Structure 1
Amino acid sequence: MLKELHLSVSLVLVFACGLLYKLTLRSHCFFACLPPFSSLGRLEDLLSNGRSIVFIETSERVEPPPLVSCAVESAAKIYPEQPVIFFMKGLSNTTQLASNTSSPAFSLLSAIENVFFAPLNMKRLFEDTPLFSWYTKINSSAEKYWLHVSSDASRLAIIWKYGGIYMDTDVISIRPIPEKNFLAAQGSRYSSNGVFGFLPHHPFLWGCMENFVERYNSRIWGNQGPNLMTRMLRLWCRLEDFQELGDLKCLNISFLHPQRFYPIPYPEWRRYYQVWDTEPSFNASYALHLWNFMNKEGRTPVSGSNTLAENLYQKHCPKTYRVLIQRAEETASREPGTGNR
């Protein structure tokens, strides 16, 4: 009896230690919290189901600002059974932050079970794709829009290789996208590349990568991005105008109505940072693109402002709102020189 009791206590202690170890990793580590990417085995496992939600950062920035954090958190919230993988060029296989570092966005995102960070190694990514020869010859320092062009290329290669859904880091998810192979219309007969999804090895994306290289011209804004998607879609389909809120279907690709992701068009992007008399329901939308490239003024939600953006943060990325908006404002108000001592 005593022997059985000792065995039971030992098992409980082992379980408790294991649980404590996991919690410690989640709350105090940076890259140690992440899959062991030294062999890329775990990353391949996560991507292999073809259902990942993918975000990309092609700058060296490693601390996500509030809108990026909101995009990742909202996707994890809407797709709880799917891995949300954030590829960042600023990371490497050996990148670590000290355990006592102040990284609120990473802390809150790392605590979400289905969020994972991964280094973006473009040379390795482009292997076995039409993009490899282009990448090995290009002089990135001479490219005016390199951050954007390299992101355009990376998203094509990742989704072609592994499948899943790509989203820009200024897209807030509000409900699941039901389609497997889709492009998002930004306007009538014009595709965006800010959100798209495909099954692995879809020939449309292979054609996009070939066209990317054949018609490469980085001096034209969007030539490798939305213009590329639109060119290829026109080769595949005979595009028509949208009728009411109906989506279009071409072969096995769905061309989703502009209301699905762009209910507020880019010339009106400031409306996200305004107070609305009647807040829109966005019942026809799967996600909302906040046009951060247009936001040269650096607008961000302010606690208590009742703007549309603040309300979206509160509803769809509450952790980001509490930590990066409310708590950041409270901390700033207590700092010397702010008038609140």
Structure 2
Amino acid sequence: MAAKNSSANIFFIESTCSPNPSYRSWCSLESWATQHPEKTVWFILVSPFINDATGVRKRLFNQYSNIRIVTSNLEEIFNETPLWELFNSDKWLKNTTWAEINLSDMLRVALVWKWGGIYADTDSICIKSTSNLTDAVGMGEDMIIINAILIGQPRHKVFWMLMEDIQQNFKGDIWGENGPHAITRVMNELCKTTNFTEIARSGKGCANMRVLPIESFYPIPYQQHKKYTEDRNETDLAKLFNGSYVLHFWNKLTENTPVSAKSHSILNTAAKKFCPVTYKIATLESNFF
């Protein structure tokens, strides 16, 4: 990988070893590439190759000069980080059904700490440029910080501390323990509070890291995930999500819910607008997205 130490990186990870990323994953990449033409969008694969039978990868390459697809050198990424020992111990692989999520939780923070920029989950559609955000994380429900979007300059203290926390408190068999719970612990310690709402309202953050309000990245909480796939009367995204940069559509909960290309759902409307190349290919192959 030839990423430079820069805030101009946007990182995505395919940690499942699948050679067939979903259309929704490609849509996510495309939306971030569209909203950030000045940044390089990296799709980092654990699998050694991608099957491009549908032609979506080729079409995206032709349309966007800022997309890069690379295989991962895990040793290079974890070298000289607090996660080196954990990675080499294989603890993240053993006695767990979440190996790919454990790896992703580790990779994302190491990438942003080492090279700087943005990490985003592949179930996020970017609807507005985040270029005005230098160092930021976002709140979810119940005073939890969610690690689906991480923004930081290289060598940021918060992400070093997050890697240390994951190393020291690693629990491979508990969902979220090495992700949202870990970054929440770190921000609790640095901010000396569990009330992130007040910090978000102040706009100041702590330890040179802003905590953004819920609507910034997670405007629909996971408990209400069906709102993304249901038909609705109002589909003006600018009106619905005026304070949002990203729509995180909770793929583990929505992936088995097909969305008709004729539907008036938030997910269908957002995909049609913010990832037009992917959407066109997906809906030519099927009536559902």
- TM, length-normalised to structure 1: 0.77
Residues 221-240 of structure 1: matches in 2 within 5 Å? Answer: 221-239=175-193, 240=195
Which of 243, 251, 256 is the equivalent residue of 2:212? 256
Query: Sequence identity, in percent?
Result: 26
Q: Does the Cα contact within 8 Å between 2:8 and 2:39 map onto a contact in 1?
A: yes
**Deviation, structure 1 residue 245:** 7.9
Which of 316, 324, 327 is the equivalent residue of 2:274? 316
Cα distance change, pair 302–107 in 1 and its aligned pair in 2 (3 A) = farther
Aligned counterparts of 2:79 and 2:179: Cα–Cα separation in 1? 20
Aligned to 1:22: none
Which of 104, 109, 122 is the equivalent residue of 1:156? 109
Larger radius of gyration: 1
Residues 87-106 of structure 1: matches in 2 within 5 Å? Answer: 87-91=44-48, 95=49, 102-106=53-57
Aligned to 1:125: 77
Three-state SS of the structure 2 residue aligned to 1:71 is helix
2:281 matches 1:327: no
- Residues 226-261 of structure 1, C-alpha deviation per residue, up to 9 Å, x if partnerless? 000000001110333526983452131100000001
Aligned counterparts of 1:105 and 1:299: Cα–Cα separation in 2? 21
Which of 126, 137, 154 is the equivalent residue of 1:200? 154
Residues 6-155 of structure 1: matches in 2 within 5 Å? Answer: 40=1, 43-44=2-3, 47-91=4-48, 95=49, 102-111=53-62, 112-139=64-91, 140-155=93-108
Three-state SS of the structure 1 residue aligned to 2:7 is coil
Query: 1:319 corresponds to which letter in structure 2?
Result: V
Q: Does the Cα contact within 8 Å between 1:89 and 1:119 map onto a contact in 2?
A: yes
**Deviation, structure 1 residue 118:** 1.0
Aligned counterparts of 1:227 and 1:270: Cα–Cα separation in 2? 24
- Residues 270-313 of structure 1, C-alpha deviation per residue, up to 9 Å, x if partnerless? 111111122352110001100001236x1233211222211111
Q: Which has the higher contact order (CA 8 A, sep 6+)?
A: 2
Q: Once superposed, which parts of structure 1, at least 4 consecutive aligned residues long, lie more than 3 Å away? A: 243-248
2:263 matches 1:305: yes
Aligned counterparts of 1:151 and 1:96: Cα–Cα separation in 2? 18
Q: Does the Cα contact within 8 Å between 2:24 and 2:122 map onto a contact in 1?
A: yes
Query: Structure 2: which 5+ runs fail to align?
Result: none
Which of 279, 288, 292 is the equivalent residue of 2:251? 292
**Deviation, structure 1 residue 211:** 1.0
Aligned counterparts of 2:229 and 2:180: Cα–Cα separation in 1? 25
Query: How well do the aligned residues superpose, as a CA RMSD in angstroms?
Result: 2.0
**Deviation, structure 1 residue 188:** 4.8
- Residues 166-195 of structure 1, C-alpha deviation per residue, up to 9 Å, x if partnerless? 000000001112211111111253100000
Aligned counterparts of 2:95 and 2:76: Cα–Cα separation in 1? 22
Query: Structure 1: which 5+ runs fail to align?
Result: 1-39, 333-341
Aligned counterparts of 2:101 and 2:160: Cα–Cα separation in 1? 19
Three-state SS of the structure 1 residue aligned to 2:129 is coil
Three-state SS of the structure 2 residue aligned to 1:117 is strand
How many residue pairs were aligned?
Answer: 280
Q: Does the Cα contact within 8 Å between 1:63 and 1:103 map onto a contact in 2?
A: no
Aligned counterparts of 1:221 and 1:244: Cα–Cα separation in 2? 26
